[in-house]
Amino acid sequence: MRPDSINWSRTQNLMALEFPPHRRLHRQVLRCMLLFALLQPCAALGLLHAARELRWAHAGAWWAPAAILFAAAGCTLLVSGVPLLFWMRNWSRGLASLHQGIRRLTAGMDPKPITITGEHEIAYLGMAFNGMAGKLAASYAELSEANRTLEIRVAERTTQLRAAAVEMERLAKTDLITGLANRRAFTQGTEQYFERSTRTGKDLVCIAIDLDGFKGVNDTLGHARGDEMLKISGEVIRDCCRSEDLPARLGGDEFIILLHLDEIELARPVAERLQSEFRKRTAAVIDPATIKTMPSMSIGIASRRLSGAATAEALIHEADELFYKAKRGGKCRAEFSIPKQAA
């Protein structure tokens, strides 16, 4: 029989009968015994009638054969009924266990072995069911172990993917050489810093930095030493900044810092420390005799309050103009914003 030809809904309905198979067997056997008990007197009366017609008994002594026939019927019923009851009990127990086991399977519960009694057909069916239940239990155990292993691997892979996503996000916003924020991250943060300065009333100061003599280091000592200068610059800038400041490398040898200060003069010691630390650390790794001009920093410091910049881009442009002015003035200098009226 093909699986698609089975009426599964009817099978489920039969499994949920009000009277399970073993109880239905009791009812059928009791009906048979009751019918047998009713037929015995009828047979006895028929025999008595035949005996009287054939003159096998005197008219006044017909009860004796009747008693004998009734006694024979009772003995027959007793002798045949007791073995039938024992047989019915064994069958009903096997049917009850088998029915209960099948109901557990259809309900989605774990299969359990059923009790085997006797050597009749129901017992063989019970043994077959136990074999099937054992294989199902082993399959369930293997499937559960596979699911558990799969869940562990999925959890591990999810953790790895999340960590990779976080790392990719960090790399997307970080300059690989210096470890500072890159141009993308700096651009995303400028509007937030400018809006905060407008809201709190504090001055927003932009420090633009350009390395002097960086091209000479690359041409004379090689790009590896030039990358080392960039790393030193990143370390110096990071050490001179606070946690709430935004330092970044815009590209090449250009760096920038956004910071909130009460006034622009507070940025002067920051610029002096940047230049001093940079000179000290470059002197430790570069021999002045090997290069024409030692690297230094030209710095432009622009104030939102003094420059009157209406946008973050205008403030950054002002700082760029100031560090170009510092370069033209002799390099290794710092130029500050002055009030527009004074300019």
User: Tokens standing for 186?
Assistant: 């700096």
Q: What are the backbone angles phi and psi of residue 248, rounded to the nearest 5°?
A: -155, 160
Catalytic residue list? 253
